[in-house]
Structure 1
């Protein structure tokens, strides 16, 4: 029976690897979609800022147009007033000239002379009013010219803003394309290093039945590192972890600095509950085991920036059949080379 069970354990199950490959592709797609959404968000924010500037410029143009219309109306009223003043002045001057002629024909007409003086004063007053109206019209003309210059400047600023908006959209689109290309390159590079790293681990650790590669993860049975219900590393596990640490240190030298990578250590348990003073649940047990592996690798010189510890409890099984063999497969430590 033991030999039969060992044969079943060594049967290659391609389904988890296929699922993990699909999961990796899905994660890459989700990441690319997130980058696209972030790009669209910044583009929307910039466009909203441009729209606000355009609305403010259009509001200023409308205000200036209204002021220009008012000034033009005032100018027309002033022109009408000035024309009326000139007509009145011309009539008074004609009346004055008529009175002078009559006075010249009638000697000693003092009353008429007084009338002429009054008309002269009124004519002078009309002249002053006409001069004041002319000055006002000149001021209005200057104001209208200034408003026209300001409107021209605003229209030019609006055109420049629209041109910059078009250029900004083109730059953002180009940035998105370059970002997608760079991301794809980084994913390809990391995939290549992952394959080389796992191949190196397989060579270092040997072809053991309790160590296998499933998809993009290197899977150790928990019994390889820990006694049942414990998070303390077994003495024989430290020798194998020393080999693992050496492989990681070589990997740190090979992967370029601009690739932000990390080796994630995942702890998993089976579905049987645990509840004691040290581990109230399988969450604590799986997390403690992952942390124990990470701490030992750090003690062997591996950079903490390249390590992640995660506990999944019993909630990520790879075999749900409930048999003793399935429970054993679900109690595991997984290594996954990924981006941070």
Structure 2
């Protein structure tokens, strides 16, 4: 077990890295203005070298030079570590002296500058520090301090993903239990744990994985919704079939009665003839009557089966959920008039974002609050009509159009869509709807109603939807 823990610690250290070096240069005043030329996005080090008419650009070129030296073929671990440290110190100096420069702003926002990415540099420095301190000869003299700082940084970084760490720890526990003392498999377990720790350190990859998971869950939810709608459709088809068979049965019964009447009349008429009963005519009428009787019996059997199918479908829980959803939302709209005809989409009410929010904002407008006031009042009035055994909730889904957003408050459409959904949840709660009856969900731009690229399509896709759920 100790060997496993040691291997795990090394994998953790290599995957997550540590803090970059301390600043050691003199700083200019924090608010100092600069007139440095803004490099073109994607500019290489060679291009920047031609723009070194300002000190900030010259500092950045020096940083890039140190990075190139660190990554040169054949460089020793200790030298690689020192070059990376010089590069990081240069960044500290640049940001400290010129905090309002274009380069400093990009670095502080953790955004790429050409082919340079600050987050990647820090990770490479951490790996270089671990490699240099692990060398048997020529290791840095301050390894103890360096590794201590790295471990402190790891602790801070891990706290920001505490939930994920707990999940990984649970997975590790399950994996350890499954081995049942099989020491020969501990190495494989250590590799898997190291891979999991690497995922924690890779924020961008984790975000991509999260987006993919959300898309998959949404696809499953959509498929489930389609299944529910199919069940309700089958129920309606069974009811239509039942009604058609009932009408056909009534028609056949009437025809049988008419044939019986004709048979009696014909028999009386034929018996009164001098020639006696026309047995051929009587046989024909009796055959028609027998065929009608058989059809009636067959239709009665089909009708019984149709009634059974309709009754069985009506008792299915998924069909009842559909009924609760459609009836509840229809009842809410009937009570409050909260939505127009084009805002009722099957089992959901669709509010245009323009009604609730200003463009790029998540704060409710006055007109939006007025609409939600009517909606909340109708929900509270209709809620007592829901059966007590139905554990229901209203899911508030935030959607955006495909155009990207990147602000300090909303780095992407994910943050904007969830912020809008949460704003609606908080407001409905303030109007008396309990939080346990509300769910907020974000969909960003990934579930459009219109896949076009016109302004009308964008406006249709920017929306907040309300759905009735059984939890």
Band the TM-score falls in, shorter-chain normalisation = 0.3 to 0.5
Between Structure 1 and Structure 2, whose CA radius of gyration is higher?
A: 1
- Between the two structures, name the one with larger relative contact order (CA 8 Å, sep ≥ 6): 1
TM-score by length of structure 1 reads 0.46
TM-score by length of structure 2 reads 0.33
